[in-house]
Amino acid sequence: MNSVSNHRWAEKYPHLGQGPIAAAPFVSEDHYRREIARVFKTSWLYVAREEEIAEPGSYKVKRLAFADSSVITMRGKDGVVRGFYNVCSHRGNSVVTETGEETFGHSKAAVLSCRFHGWVYGADGALRQVPEEERFYACFDRRENGLTRVATEVWAGFVFVNLAPEPEQNLHDYLGDYGVHMGAYPYGDLTHSYKYHTTLDCNWKIAHDAFAEAYHVSTIHAGSFPDVFSTGLSDVQLFGPHRTCGVCLNMNMAPKPVAAIAQKHARGSLVAKGEGAMLPPSINPSGRADFAFEMSVAFPNLLLHISEGIWFTHQFWPLAHDKTLWEGKYYVRAPTTNSERWALEHAQLLQRNAWLEDTQTMENTHRAIASGAKRFINLQDEEILIRHAHHVIAQMMGAAAE
């Protein structure tokens, strides 16, 4: 393997450079405000899975705190998913009363009615009914007071919204070759989920970066994934603002007794060899035998990982320059037997523990960078996805400043 360059990714993508990365954007309030305006309010953002709103009349409300907004995505009787701001046209109350970051509901009639004064909207956003409508004045037109639309499109069962009034690209063009590369995985067949979230006192990019490399596996995961030697990334590919790679791991240790039994009963762990043909042909094009999973980022804030029998997402929602909502969602095929159910519990808990190890560094990193002691951070070649992330953001911010 001596022929593999230590700087192969920089050689493949020379435009990203090799220098250190400025630290200020991690902790600057001004940078954060511009990032929200230039990146988050113009990009397509993943907010729901189609299975979460599978039936006509089903809806999900997702809070987008960075924009002081909540977005309703709702499936109409025509099967189409549409998105709206959760704001009533009457006096601005929330149409759907939210119970947290994510609120789910279903209306048999496929309508939404505001609890405040009973205004009723269709799943197409049209204002259907206003109690005592005759007491409003001649200037009030029901047809002009539907819910405010949010651009909403679906890719591979992932529902995305874009808060720009007129998005520059549709979702298909926005995802481009990334959508082709990741699109053929059977996400909709693996719907048994385990979901976690927490609020981290760190910038969203610190959380993103901590997950976007495999350099940390042998240190951070020495507890949960011991002797899983990271052999680097494979097939790094950049698709516009998006990015992907294979993560290759050598699993040197025979599984411990309970782990071995779990692996026999179900495919649920990333650190066990997966057999099968679930991964699309676009994945692992080099055919590496130590390939473990594909790690990809749909810009700006969706990390999407796929492996044989398992897929999972991380999302990083900015709440403030030093506050981030992290969500981790882990999906496997629904168990069919009680023993499979048990084995998935084991695999999923080990993954939870690994995520507890991952999230441990993030607040410390933010606090340390905020000290101002370091003006730059340093990245090695296997941290190319992080370099790309910062490059894309800087480009968008720069382009916006011109």
Partner 1 sequence: MSTNLPSEFAPLEPLVEAWALPTQNARQAQRRSSSTETLQKFYDAVVPLLPKILAHVDQFPLGELPPESLRLSYISLALAEVAPHIELYRGDPNVPHSFDEERFIAVHGEQTG
Which residues have a Cβ under 8 Å from the Cβ of 10 and sit 6 or more positions away?
A: 16, 17, 18, 381, 384
Q: How far is the CB of 348 from partner 1 (least distance, A)?
A: 9
Binding of residue 256 to partner 1 (CB under 8 A)? yes
Binding of residue 261 to partner 1 (CB under 8 A)? yes
Binding of residue 262 to partner 1 (CB under 8 A)? yes
Q: How far is the CB of 51 from partner 1 (least distance, A)?
A: 15
Binding of residue 126 to partner 1 (CB under 8 A)? no
End-to-end CA distance of the chain: 45
Question: 356 in the Ramachandran plot: left (φ > 0), alpha (ψ -120 to 50) or beta?
Answer: alpha
Shorter beta-carbon distance to partner 1: residue 291 or 326: 326
Determine contact, residues 25/31, Cβ cutoff 8 Å. yes
Binding of residue 339 to partner 1 (CB under 8 A)? yes
Secondary structure letter of residue 151 according to DSSP: E
Determine contact, residues 183/155, Cβ cutoff 8 Å. yes
Determine contact, residues 221/228, Cβ cutoff 8 Å. yes
**Residues in binding contact with partner 1, number by CB under 8 A:** 39
Binding of residue 198 to partner 1 (CB under 8 A)? yes
Binding of residue 346 to partner 1 (CB under 8 A)? yes
Can you tell me whether residue 266 is helix, strand or coil? coil
The four Cα atoms 261, 264, 266, 271 give a dihedral, to 10 degrees, of 80
Can you tell me whether residue 87 is helix, strand or coil? coil
Choice from 2, 252, 336, 371 touching partner 1 (CB under 8 A): 336
| Window 294-333: contact mask with partner 1 (x via CB under 8 A) | ----------------------------------------
HSE-up of 82 (CA within 13 Å, CB side)?
23
Binding of residue 98 to partner 1 (CB under 8 A)? no
Shorter beta-carbon distance to partner 1: residue 48 or 147: 48
The crossing angle, in degrees rounded to 10, of helices 257-265 and 338-359 is: 120
Binding of residue 249 to partner 1 (CB under 8 A)? no
Q: How far is the CB of 4 from partner 1 (least distance, A)?
A: 31
Q: Given the rule CB under 8 A, which of 63-71, 162-170, 192-200, 383-391 is the region that contacts partner 1?
A: 192-200
Shorter beta-carbon distance to partner 1: residue 24 or 253: 253
For 363, phi then psi, to 5°, come to: -70, -35
Q: How far is the CB of 328 from partner 1 (least distance, A)?
A: 9
Binding of residue 349 to partner 1 (CB under 8 A)? yes
Q: How far is the CB of 226 from partner 1 (least distance, A)?
A: 6
Question: What length is written for the chain?
Answer: 402
Choice from 210, 292, 359, 379 touching partner 1 (CB under 8 A): 359
| Window 201-240: contact mask with partner 1 (x via CB under 8 A) | -------------------x--xx-x--------------
The string of DSSP letters for 282-293 reads TS-TT--TTEEE
Choice from 24, 109, 180, 258 touching partner 1 (CB under 8 A): 258
Can you tell me whether residue 240 is helix, strand or coil? coil
Nearest CA among 207, 251, 204, 261 for reference residue 230: 251
**Given the rule CB under 8 A, which residues bind partner 1?**
193-199, 220, 223-224, 226, 256-259, 261-262, 265, 335-342, 345-346, 349-350, 352-353, 355-360, 362
